[in-house]
Structure 1
Amino acid sequence: MSPHAVQIVPTGTNNWWKEATIYQVYPASFKDSNGDGWGDIPGLISKIPYLHSLGVDVVWLSPMYDSPMHDMGYDVSDYEKVLPAYGTVEDVEKLVHACHERGMKLILDLVINHTSDQHKWFQESRSSKDNDKRDWYFWRPPRYDAYGNRLPPTNYRGYFAGSTWTWDEHTQEYYLHLYAKEQPDLNWDNPAARKAIYDSAVRFWLDKGVDGFRVDTVNKYSKHTSFPDAPITDPKSYIQPAIQMWCNGPRIHEFLREMYDETLQPYGDVVTIGELANTPDPQHVLKYVSASAKQLSMVFHLDIGHIGMGDSLEDKYIFRPWKLTEMKSIVTKWQSFIEGTDGWTTAFCENHDNGRSVSRFGSDAPEYRERSAKMLALMMVAMTGTLFLYQGQEIGMINAPRDWPVDEYKDIEGRGYYEEAQRQVDAGIDPTRKDRIMNGLGILARDHARLPMQWDDTPHAGFTTGTPWMRLHDLYKEINVQQQESDADSVLTFWKTVLRLRKEYRELFIHGAFEILDFDNQNTFCFIKSREGRMALVALNFTSEEQPFTQVAMTGKMKLLVSNYTDTLSEELQPFEGRIYISEEQI
Structure 2
Amino acid sequence: MTEHARLNPAVTITRQWWHSSTVYQIYPRSFADSNGDGIGDIPGIISKLDYLEKLGIDLIWLSPIYASPMDDNGYDISNYQDIAPEFGTLDDFWELLAKAKERGIGIVLDLVVNHTSDEHDWFLQARKGRNNQFRDFYIWRDPGPDGGPPNDLQSIFGGSAWELDPSSGQYYLHLFSRRQPDLNWENEGVRRAVYDMMNWWLDRGIAGFRMDVIDLIGKQPDKQITADGPHLHDYIQEMHRETLRHRDALTVGETWSVTPDSALLYSGRERHELSMVFQFEHVTQRWDEVFGKWRSKPFDLVALKAVFSKWQQALAEDGWNSLFWGNHDLPRAVSRYGEDGEFRVPSAKTLATVLHMMRGTPYVYQGEEIGMTNASFTSIEQYKDIETLNMHRLHLAAGLSPQDFIAGAHMNSRDNARTPMPWTDAPHGGFTTGTPWIEANGNVGSINAAAAVDDDQSVFHHYRKLITLRKTHDVIVYGRYQSYLDQHPEVFLYTRTLGGDRVTVLANLSKAPVVVELPGEIVTGGEALVWTHQPISSLEQTVSLRPWESFCILTRT
Give the TM bin, normalised by the shorter chain. over 0.9
8 Å CA contact 1:10–1:16 kept in 2: the answer is: no
* Structure 2 counterpart of 1:110: 111
Deviates more, 1:331-340 or 1:27-36: 331-340
SS at match of 1:397: coil
Alignment map for 1:397-416 (pairs within 5 Å): 397-401=372-376, 404-416=378-390
Deviation at 1:285, TM superposition (A): 1.1
8 Å CA contact 2:452–2:459 kept in 1: the answer is: yes
CA distance in 1, matches of 2:289, 2:419: 27
4+ residue runs over 6 A deviation: 8-11, 567-570
Deviation per CA, 1:376-407, whole angstroms, max 9, x where unpaired?
Answer: 11112201111110000000000112x52111
Task: Supply the AA of the counterpart residue of 2:158.
Answer: A
CA distance in 2, matches of 1:394, 1:556: 30
Alignment map for 1:491-506 (pairs within 5 Å): 491-505=459-473
Q: Which of residues 193, 196, 206 in structure 1 aligns to 2:202?
A: 206
CA distance in 2, matches of 1:9, 1:94: 34
2:505 is the counterpart of 1:538: yes
8 Å CA contact 1:9–1:16 kept in 2: the answer is: no
8 Å CA contact 2:266–2:273 kept in 1: the answer is: yes
CA distance in 2, matches of 1:34, 1:260: 39
Unmatched tracts of structure 2, length 5 or more:
6-13
Q: Which of residues 511, 515, 518 in structure 1 aligns to 2:482?
A: 515
8 Å CA contact 1:10–1:19 kept in 2: the answer is: no
Task: Supply the AA of the counterpart residue of 1:129.
Answer: R
Alignment map for 1:318-467 (pairs within 5 Å): 318-341=295-318, 343-365=319-341, 367-401=342-376, 404-422=378-396, 424=397, 430=399, 432-467=400-435
SS at match of 1:539: strand
SS at match of 1:17: helix
* Structure 2 counterpart of 1:179: 176
Deviation at 1:558, TM superposition (A): 3.5
Q: Which of residues 152, 161, 164 in structure 2 aligns to 1:167?
A: 164
CA distance in 2, matches of 1:309, 1:481: 32
* Structure 2 counterpart of 1:252: 232
8 Å CA contact 1:75–1:116 kept in 2: the answer is: yes
Give me the CA root mean square deviation: 1.7
Give the structure-2-normalised TM-score: 0.94
SS at match of 2:215: coil
Task: Supply the AA of the counterpart residue of 2:387.
Answer: E
Change (3 A) 1:551 1:478: same
Give the structure-1-normalised TM-score: 0.90
* Structure 1 counterpart of 2:494: 527
Deviation at 1:219, TM superposition (A): 0.9
SS at match of 2:237: helix
Deviation at 1:306, TM superposition (A): 2.4
Deviation at 1:10, TM superposition (A): 7.4
Q: Which of residues 223, 236, 243 in structure 2 aligns to 1:228?
A: 223
* Structure 2 counterpart of 1:311: 289
Alignment map for 1:474-489 (pairs within 5 Å): 474-489=442-457
Q: How many residue pairs were aligned? A: 544
Deviation at 1:154, TM superposition (A): 1.1
CA distance in 1, matches of 2:169, 2:143: 8
Task: Supply the AA of the counterpart residue of 2:344.
Answer: R
Deviation per CA, 1:310-351, whole angstroms, max 9, x where unpaired?
Answer: 235x5332222241112111111222212222x211111111
CA distance in 2, matches of 1:136, 1:418: 33
* Structure 1 counterpart of 2:154: 157
Deviation per CA, 1:189-218, whole angstroms, max 9, x where unpaired?
Answer: 000111111113x12211221110001101
Task: Supply the AA of the counterpart residue of 1:566.
Answer: Q
8 Å CA contact 2:31–2:366 kept in 1: the answer is: yes
Change (3 A) 1:376 1:322: closer
Deviation per CA, 1:412-470, whole angstroms, max 9, x where unpaired?
Answer: 11111111123x1xxxx52x443322211111111111110010011221111111111
CA distance in 2, matches of 1:419, 1:9: 56
2:248 is the counterpart of 1:279: no
Deviation per CA, 1:138-189, whole angstroms, max 9, x where unpaired?
Answer: 00011134xxxx3211111111010110111111011001000000000000
Change (3 A) 1:10 1:79: farther
Alignment map for 1:546-561 (pairs within 5 Å): 546-551=513-518, 553=520, 554-561=522-529
2:258 is the counterpart of 1:261: no
CA distance in 2, matches of 1:99, 1:374: 27
SS at match of 1:109: strand
CA distance in 2, matches of 1:524, 1:321: 17
